[in-house]
Structure 1
Amino acid sequence: MSNQVKFLTKNFGQYDTSSIGSYMDIGGFEALRKAVTMDPEKICDMITEVKVRGRGGAEYPLGRKWSQARAVVGENKIVVCNADEGETTTFKDRELIQKDPFNLIEALIIAGYVCGATDGYIYMRAEYACLRPLLLNAIRQAKNYGFLGENILGKGFDFNLHLYSGGGAYVCGEGTALIRSIEGKAGRPRMKPPFIKVSGLFARPTCLNNVESLSIVPHLLVDKGRVYASCGSGESIGTKMISVAGNVNNPGVFEIPFGTTVREIIYNLAGGIQHDREIQLIQFGGASGKIADASILDTPYTYDDLRNAGVMVGSGGILVIDERTSVIDFLRMNQEFFSEESCGQCTPCREGNLHIKIILDKIASHTATQEDIRIMATIARVMSMSSLCGLGETAQNTLQSAMLTFPEVFEVGGTES
């Protein structure tokens, strides 16, 4: 377990998550007290200095996002926390909510201060309903202690926080679909522009962030020893929460310094492969993530190294599949998910997912032709270029990467090893 670090997770198990007093006893809300004495742009600069990228999958620099949100002209701005966490094999945000809820509340208040917002919204996936009482209690206590409401800490800063639960749709992890869901509309993406930062929730300027992205900020503000900046490798500074699942002995959530190798993650932290079987494939970043074979094991877990290896950090999920599952069967399972979760609004995604599912079934039954394979590759490419939202654009990442990594599987008349 030597590869684990405790920066975001340092509060885990250290306080009673139902008591704001217990949180304050370990230094809770000191980051907020410091933040409201600072120029908001200085906070953005601090985040930019350590190159924090969005942890939801898009990897957009957090300091830049907050600075841009602050620069938007408009009244009654909003910050939104995306706690939908709909990517399969991704459950690190759940850990942050469950084991450190007051830190998330503090982070949202700081985000509101920096962005000039008056309201914050937490959009939590329906399956996390068991965590609603925990967050509602944290919000209520924060308000009772004067950390929410009017004139927070006597600084003339007003901010209120609201909790919403989704309906269980994967597509609501996409920003515009999430916003429409909060508004009481069907959770379907909309065209951009206008961009969320200009016209988002209730047509008000909105800054949308992932749970992990937000959770970093309070820790950074009180990081006197620059622990975060001392971790990492190259352009990937700091630590990352990852979720490891699949055919491993010790699945779970781990906080690692960037630069830890994939082998160390799977064999040290996750305890290796069940019954010492061979790895068939590894998927990075959830259902919309790309896959690799065992040759990636010695690749450092950083943004640049993983991208150069043909995959990406994405949501932080790592799914390990052993030799018992064929590549095609895995792709069929993945495709079944997207065929079900597509909202059906745009033609490339609605029809593309359906037809790729049909062709994968033909490959599995050994009835596919070379023309089927060509058509499937074309549909995947068109989807990635012309779908309305990120679901359609990334739904075929797994298939496209599989065609590069396991070309023999897609040879008509060939067999899987």
Structure 2
Amino acid sequence: MGGTAKIFKKCAPNGRVYVYLGKREFVQCDGATEPVSGIVYIQDWKDTLKGRKVYVQLVVTFRHGREEDETMGLSFKKELIIDRTEVNPAENKEGETKLQTVLKQKLGDGAVPFTLQFPELAPNSVLICSSEDEDPSKRTMGVFYDVRAHIADANDDYTGKKGSTVSMGIRKSQYAPNDIKQRSPTSTAEKGFVFGSGKIVLEANLDKEVFYHGQDIPLHVSLNNNSKKTVKSIQCTISQICELSMVNAHYSCKVARLESQDGCPLQSGGSLNRTFILKPLAQICQGARGLCLDASLSKVQDESNLASSSISETGNNNDLLGVIVSYSIKVKVLLGGMGGELETDIPFKLVHPRPDSLEMENLNKEKTSARSKQTDKRRRMFQGQDSVLNESFHTSQDN
């Protein structure tokens, strides 16, 4: 049976070291992340190596400041090698994938497969906007992953020379786990007054805790005014909170806003029950400082959807590393007559649905055909950072 596979290829500056990958997006789900499998090809490997070694590393980079702001030896970048393996073209590796086997046959001598593993607590790829004037194609703040291959003179050589080093960017994302608890978060707040009897009681709740990118979020608000004050309006905002775990820094961006005067002014003794529909979008706060997006693989334009909530597979949020993203809805009631305001917060999670889930099917039905075409176009752009080969190969069907 014949088939066509898309192969990603990148070459070192000296033109002798190549890395081939079958995919550049790796997903964590239910505690496990897909392994990074590929091929390292050394052209004329006997003359190129001359007894030296070749290492392939999975490197995560955490950048918390702009590169152009680094002066006087100051560095805003931290790198961590989370997996490392030695490859030798003279050895035959077992447990190859079908794609690795086919590439070895096509490339010939000097091609050797490798497999790298993500650790259990590896953070997701995240892109952070630093300012409104920043060029989207040159954003460098956030968490990024690379597959790096280099020729080393010794076992403790972790960098190699620039001319014989090749680095290909990849992305790690996360799907919502199956066993996540779907509770209905509720928050209540009340306010009394020193020079008046009675109080105002505000209650807000969501139908569920986990929502998916592109979904509408219905917010149910109940308000009882047992005071002598008047309720002028209700404001609802969704905030994205970003915490940089390696440095003491926090960002907060409003990704959805709504203000309503429906049922207002609400006089003394009145009550109000309303459902407001919110949809968090990156477009309404594009360029805001500290806004977190899903890291893209494109050098042309940035990814347009917001970063997913950070979910710890162990259940302990203290295990989260890198850029920790969370979301919350704030409901604020504005009062008249020097009454001030009353507010409450509800945390929730915004994630990617599993492709095989019912929610994913329903979400796809909600999308318009125009938006689907735009998404497909964007996805194709993400896969075109480096040279892309369309390799056709024939395999036997084992049925």
Q: Shorter-normalised TM-score: what interval?
A: under 0.3
Q: Which has the higher helix share?
A: 1
Q: Which has the higher strand share?
A: 2
Higher relative contact order (CA 8 A, sep 6+): 2
**Which TM-score applies when normalising by structure 2?**
0.26
**Which TM-score applies when normalising by structure 1?**
0.25
